[in-house]
Structure 1
Amino acid sequence: MKKILLVLAVLCVQMFAKFETIEVNSEILNDPNIQIVDVRTPAEWAETGVINGAILVTYRNADGSINSDFVNEVKSKIDTNKKVGIICRSGARSKAASALLSDAGVENVINLGGGMNKVKNLPTVKP
């Protein structure tokens, strides 16, 4: 029952949140005015690497539950004067994470559609 309520809450947040979705590309990832927050899991970071300079905050725990401290962790690591680009593997988690952050008052949130799958040929670093 808790999982159903959590899913419903996330869906409601996504309906009313204010953020934009743009397809990820190298220009966005290299823009100094956009800070990249990678919301994948530590296992995914280790497997494929991360964008150099990305802020790493997992959105979902290993058991699939949402990281209950996600918003606070992101807020503590970002510069609120810059845009925040949220990236995951394909764009689904980043969309949910973007909605959650936007609903929590984080401004200038951008969901990076397509995620790391779209930028496979760009260099990454090990976390």
Structure 2
Amino acid sequence: MHIKNFIKYSLIFFLLFSGKILSAAELTNLTPGQVNKSLNNETLVIDIRTPREWQTTGIIPGSHPVKFFDQNGKYDTQQWLAAVQKLQSSPDQEIILVCHSGGRSGKVGKLLSKKLNMPNVSHLQNGIKSWIKEQRPTEKACTATQTC
């Protein structure tokens, strides 16, 4: 009887602490083609770059410009999440993050998926640069301080 309990508790311990089976969601790297396919469904594409960057290159059509970092590299996660939640149709809606080259969106994506346990978070690998390199369309970004 003690052996069965030992095995049962060992299995529970393994499942809880193995780090792979019950770990937080992993951030997925997406290609421009994969992002493009996601634009036709309920996926929420969020461009986390700065307003100056949005004006320089434009944004992916259908994406939402919601900057994450300020000009000093600081951020307010709660304020940003509040803005994103207003855009979400459900808490588990797939989110794709976009930045210039994939560095910032990767960091933010890992924060969301690992630290905040948000499911379904991905990012555009190599950022808007890869989107533009494949000659995919962009559109002018409309922000609260800029009319389109």
Range into which the TM-score falls when normalised by the shorter chain:
0.7 to 0.9
Kept after mapping to 2: 8 A contact 1:61/1:67: no
Counterpart secondary structure, 1:119: helix
Question: 1:49 is matched with which residue: 53, 58, 83?
Answer: 58
TM-score normalised according to structure 1 size: 0.76
1:124 alignment counterpart: 138
Q: TM-score, normalising length from structure 2?
A: 0.66
Aligned to 1:88: 99
- Per the alignment, residue 78 of structure 1 pairs with 88
- Kindly report the root-mean-square deviation, in angstroms, between the aligned alpha carbons of the 2 structures: 1.9
Q: Distance in 1 between matches of 2:93 and 2:59?
A: 20
Larger Rg computed on CA atoms: 2
| Aligned-partner residue type, residue 104 of structure 1 | L
Return the letter of the residue paired with 2:119: E
Q: Counterpart in 2 of 1:11? A: none
How far has the Cα of 1:99 moved from its partner?
A: 2.0
Instruction: Indicate if the aligned counterparts of 1:22 and 1:110 stay in contact, CA closer than 8 A.
Output: yes
Which SS does the other structure have where 1:124 is aligned? Answer: coil
Letter of the aligned partner of 1:79 in structure 2? S
1:27 positional shift: 3.7
- Structure 1 unaligned residues grouped into runs of 5+: 1-15
Identity %: 27
2-side partners of 1:24 and 1:118: how far apart?
A: 8
Runs of 4 or more above 4 Å deviation: none
| Alpha-carbon shift at residue 85 of structure 1 (Å) | 0.7
Q: Which residue of 2 aligns with 1:58?
A: 67
Does residue 36 of structure 2 align to residue 29 of structure 1? yes
Structure 2: runs of 5 or more not aligned: 1-22, 142-148
Structure with the greater relative contact order (CA < 8 A, sep ≥ 6): 1 or 2? 1
